[in-house]
Amino acid sequence: MLTAAVAAASASSAQAQRQEIRQACTADMRALCSGIMPGSGRIKQCMIDKFDRLSEGCKSALKAAQAQSPKQ
């Protein structure tokens, strides 16, 4: 039962984190990667390539997500 609760909390946290990134980074994605066709990680790679040009809010959201993600 505890395992299920932890898994549910983890999934909820991941969903909230994705929403935070979406809110913080959508304008940057549209401005910097508008010519990139979605799929195969192309948008993600565009954002990585242009990380220095991202807004501070987007950078903060991405860094927070990276810090909370499990190490592989």
- Higher-confidence position of 9 and 61: 61
Torsion, Cα 4 7 8 13, to 10 degrees, reads: 160
Taking 80 as the threshold, does the pLDDT of residue 29 lie above it? yes
Model pTM greater than 0.95?
Answer: no
Q: Where are the domains of the chain?
A: 2-55
Kindly indicate the confidence band of residue 61, based on its pLDDT and cuts at 50, 70 and 90: very high
- Please, what is the angle between helix 56-68 and helix 2-33, to 10°? 150
- Whether the per-residue pLDDT at 18 is higher than 60: the answer is yes
The distance of Cα 19 from the centroid of its chain, to the nearest Å, equals 8
